[in-house]
Chain A
């Protein structure tokens, strides 16, 4: 879901940067010293997870773990995902520098939303519900990112229905894997250190 250079118009790129700047400001404001190592480790996880690809039809999709980042980091998912995407753009030429704003927003905004949606379930005290909801929100955040990518490409002049259909189909199996990974990670954290989830930014 890295949109490459030369596809989006200047207004779209500017809007993406503006939205991402807002998210970065909110994330950095909420990041304290305790949160920095956690953010860095999830940045690394996001950075590497995007290299695991699932070939689907003429295209391929990759793991993102943006839902897990949102559940654990909240708004701090913005700086985490921004840093990971920037390094991917510089080191692997995934996406691009000009599209970094749009790509960050498309991945980080659903992550933040996943964090807010999962939060009440994580605080409910019922582990099975918390794990199931985390898995579902993890999967949904990836599909929401796919939706935003389709919407972005539609705004760039492509047919929304065909792009959205292709992206959704491509990401359904990956979303299932994301859900399992996110649910598993949350289950482990609930066993070992539940405060980590309750005290997120």
Chain B
């Protein structure tokens, strides 16, 4: 290796070491999207790979038939909630500034859909998540849980029985933090790992080696 190559090697090695040291506070330049279900509501979270929320990201939900059923923007926390009314597999796309985009698929199974009242067009808006009333929560704690209240106790007021719908609301409420935790864990797992950075540098070294080998073969006239 001549002096020119050695100098280039020294300069770039110093630069690389500096950049690798700085990698500890690196931010990834990619947006991700996660969505989790809470009953008939979905919450989408748009975030940079380091976990920071993407504010004001455009969000679009496309139904299986290709129609856009929901369009909104995330808040400062990168979150956006919406309600779906028809079961199916939806496409959820997020778009942030400067050409950043991400998408995911959400499955809304038929058995979790809540019947829609007449007059609902299926165009959901960003709605707050259902709070579970203290009465419902108290009902779960104080009485038996059944799916046929009328059959068991004749719809007596204050009997402590709850309906299937109320049970579902309670479960959604209890599962909400778990679903959020799973989503955050997934977000954590999508961060850039030092292993990937080293792998990339390894690929570059390998490609350079191949190029040098090809060059030497050409030089030797083989």
Contacts and interface: CB of A to CB of B under 8 A. Distances in A.
A163 B98 contact: yes
B27 A41 contact: no
A91 B15 contact: no
Interface string A61-96: 010000000001000000000011001100111100
Interface string B200-213: 11011101100110
A83 B200 CA distance: 10
A50 B29 contact: yes
Nearest to A50: B29
Interface of B: 1-5, 7-13, 15-16, 19-20, 22-23, 26-31, 48-49, 52, 54-56, 93, 95-103, 192, 196-197, 199-201, 203-205, 207-208, 211-212, 215-216, 219
Contact of B20 (A48, A72, A87, A167): A48
B3 A40 contact: no
A40 to B, nearest CB: 3
Q: Secondary structure at chain B's binding surface: helix, strand, loop or mixed?
A: helix
Given A7-B101, A52-B22, A52-B26, A44 B11 contact: no
Given A6-B101, A45-B19, A166-B97, A196 B199 contact: no
Given A45-B12, A47-B204, A87-B204, A170 B98 contact: yes
A60 B203 CA distance: 27
B215 A37 contact: no
A35 to B, nearest CB: 9
Nearest to B100: A4
B160 to A, nearest CB: 49
Nearest to A193: B7
Contacts of A193: 3-4, 7-8
Contact of A48 (B4, B19, B212): B19
A42 B96 CA distance: 30
Contacts of A40: 204-205, 207-208, 211
Given A47-B200, A48-B16, A50-B29, A33 B219 contact: yes
Contacts of A58: 54-56, 96-97
B193 to A, nearest CB: 9
Interface stretch (A108-116, A123-131, A184-192): A184-192
Given A38-B5, A44-B201, A53 B27 contact: yes
Contacts of A48: 16, 19-20, 23, 197, 200-201
A88 B55 CA distance: 24
Contacts of B12: 38, 41-42, 44-45
A51 B23 contact: yes
